[in-house]
Amino acid sequence: MTDETGQARVVRNEELARYELWVGDAVAGFSEYADSDGRTVFRHTEIDDAFAGQGLGKVLAAGALDEAVGRGRVIVPVCPFIGSYVRKNPGYTEHVRWPEGTAGE
Q: How far apart are CA 87 and CA 13, in angstroms?
A: 25
Supply the pLDDT for residue 7: 84
Q: Split the chain (105 residues) into runs of 10 and give each run's mean pLDDT.
A: 62 98 96 97 97 96 98 97 97 94 59
CATH number of 9-95: 3.40.630.30
Q: What is the pTM of this model?
A: 0.89
Output the pLDDT for position 1.
32
The domains of the chain are located at 9-95
